[in-house]
Structure 1
Amino acid sequence: MLLAVLASSPLPVILFVILAIFVLIVLASCVTIVPQASAFIVERLGAYSGTWETGLHFRIPLLEKVANKVTLKERVSDFPPQPVITKDNVTMQIDTVIYFQVTDPKLFTYGVVHPMAAIENLTATTLRNIIGELELDQTLTSRDIINTKMRTILDEATDPWGIKINRVELKNIIPPKEIQDAMERQMKAERERREAILRAEGEKRSAVLVAEGEKEATILRADASRLAKIAEAEGEAEALLKVQTALAEGLKLLNDAAPTDSVVKIKALEAFAKAADGKATKIIIPSEIQGIAGLAASAKEVFKD
């Protein structure tokens, strides 16, 4: 009956369609999908109702709303340089980088107003307190110690806000201009000193190498001379050995031939003739050779006649 009435009147049909579309839009808007690594804070009539995790959720129309969408990923905040004063009254600029992560979305939403501004101010205050206890040289050489102290203090202070500080890094430490100039001059002098030391060590090493080379050359020349003398002596010894061997073999052959006294005397005469050819001014003639000489003279007279 109701459908028949609606069908007979075009205006109610239009209103019904509009109402149906509106209801569908409202229902669709109440369907919420929470993405990965996120959490939604839901309020019902202005009061905290719950925290939606990853997945599909349905919100009661007009009664519930999503008050805050919180990412659970690690965040990085690079804060601008902050003026700090060291223990020895040197003013410098230091900028920091904070790595943090939300661990409790409810505390992050209701724990503090403007959490990022609160973290920045807390970081600046903590940095001034730590640097105020250090001198300039300690500040420039103690980055790891400062980072560790800041992380510990900030993590403890932000715990009621549902925030965990994972890491704190001092990005830049900028001392005053005059101190920078003095540091540059000191670094330049240090580089020049190291270059002078390296140059001196190089020259020393070069002199040592030259001396070692001369020493080795002298040793090699001495060894060469020694080996040459040894070779010469060995050659003379070998030649003398060969002469003595030949002489011994000649005597052996002569002995094996059983020469007569006449042959022996003739050989002695030949040896005497060779001795007479020398530069000796005084020659002793054996009696045997004198006899041979007389025999030779007699033979010559016989042949003459």
Structure 2
Amino acid sequence: MPWGVILIAILLIVALLVIVRCIVIVPQSNSYVIESLGVYKETWDAGLHIKVPFIERIARRVSLKEEVADFPPQPVITRDNVTMMIDTVVFFQVFDAKAYAYGVTRPIAAIENLSATTLRDIIGSMSLDETLTSRDLINTKITATLDEATDRWGIKVNRIELKNIEPPQEIRTAMEKQMKADREKRASILLAEGEKQAAITRAEGEKESAILRAEAVKEQKIREAEGQAQALLLVQKAKADSIRLINEAAPSQNMLALRSMEAMERVADGKATKIIVPSNMQDMAATVSAIKAVAGDTSGAAAAGK
């Protein structure tokens, strides 16, 4: 094979390789910073691009995804001269690839130093108690400060979280004792509330029992009174019926006199020492005659029966 053909084949292969290398596909959520002869030219977004060989180059491949930077604990001093160790977690995202590529040499280190400085300024204006109870406020302040400062670097700080706040050992010991005392106090309060509720429940039960007993006694007395009243009504009704029957029978004077003498005889058989004679029995002779007449009638009736 002549050398000319081989040379042409080599040149074609080289040209093909150069063309292939000039075809660039930018992935999703990425941006490429392109320089032409060492000068920034443009930023390529996701898609297919072709660069000029030997003139243009990809200066920086930048991810547009949200990233997380976990920074080590930083010593900070509160307003009341208490040194604490606080470590932070920063959530950030690149929104301008050009500013990110040319704004700062080491963006992550810059964010770490800036967050530490901002954190010291914020904590230095707060007391220990405020620092321990104002985590959300600190997060909001430091996020706003860093987001404003990192705009010129093409970085947006979405949020910053204080992961751990560690006061000195002696303060932690005091806090643990205080927490233990608070737990014991809450337990005592709960126990007292339980005993109070139990006492109230017992008192209410005794009250209900007393009310039920009183109601039972009341009901018993009412029933007894109703029974006595019913019995009295029955007695009175019996007397009224007997009087009515006597009146309907129309008894003779002789019969009435006899019944009166029988009543007096029953009274005389008793132990009473005095006998009161009714005022309508003044004529004893007439009464005796009536008794004899009644007795004669009774004897005659008996003889007739024989």
Tell me the TM-score normalised to structure 1 length.
0.86
- Which residue number corresponds to residue 24 of structure 1? 16
* Aligned residues with identical type, % of pairs: 57
Correspondence 1:29-48 to 2 at 5 A: 29-48=21-40
Question: Would you say 1:295 and 2:291 are equivalent positions?
Answer: yes
User: Within 5 Å, which residues of 2 pair with 1:94-133?
Assistant: 94-133=86-125
SS in 2 for 1:211: helix
Distance 1:277 1:24 in 2: 160
Q: How many angstroms apart in 2 are the aligned matches of 1:20 and 1:239?
A: 138
Counterparts of 1:1-305 in structure 2, within 5 Å, are 9=1, 11-268=3-260, 282-286=274-278, 288=281, 291=287, 295=291, 299=295
The verdict on how the C-alpha distance between 1:12 and 1:284 changes in structure 2, with shifts beyond 3 A counting, is: farther
Tell me which amino acid in the other structure corresponds to 2:176: E
- Three-state SS of the structure 1 residue aligned to 2:104 is coil
The residue number in structure 2 matching 1:4 is: none
User: 1:5: which partner in 2?
Assistant: none
Query: For residues 295 and 53 of structure 1, do their structure 2 counterparts lie closer, same or farther at Cα, with a shift above 3 Å needed?
Result: same
* 1:15 Cα deviation from its structure 2 partner: 3.7
Equivalent-residue separation in structure 2 for 1:277 and 1:182 (angstroms): 106
Distance 1:156 1:295, change over 3 A: same
Measure, in 2, the Cα distance between the counterparts of 1:95 and 1:80: 5
The Cα of 1:76 is off from its aligned counterpart by 1.7
Question: Given residue 79 of structure 1, which amino acid in structure 2 is its aligned partner?
Answer: F
Aligned residues: 294
Q: Give the counterpart letter for 2:104 in structure 1.
A: V
Letter in 1 for 2:216: A
- Where in structure 2 are there 5+ consecutive unaligned residues? 300-306
Q: CA deviation at 1:283?
A: 3.6
Q: Is the 8 A contact 2:257 2:291 kept in 1?
A: no
Displacement of 1:279: 6.5
- 1:273, CA displacement in angstroms? 6.0
Distance, in Å, in 2 between the alignment partners of 1:29 and 1:265 is 157
Deviation per CA, 1:90-131: give whole Å up to 9, x if none: 111101111112121111110001100100011111111111
Task: Name structure 1 gaps, 5 residues minimum.
Answer: 1-8
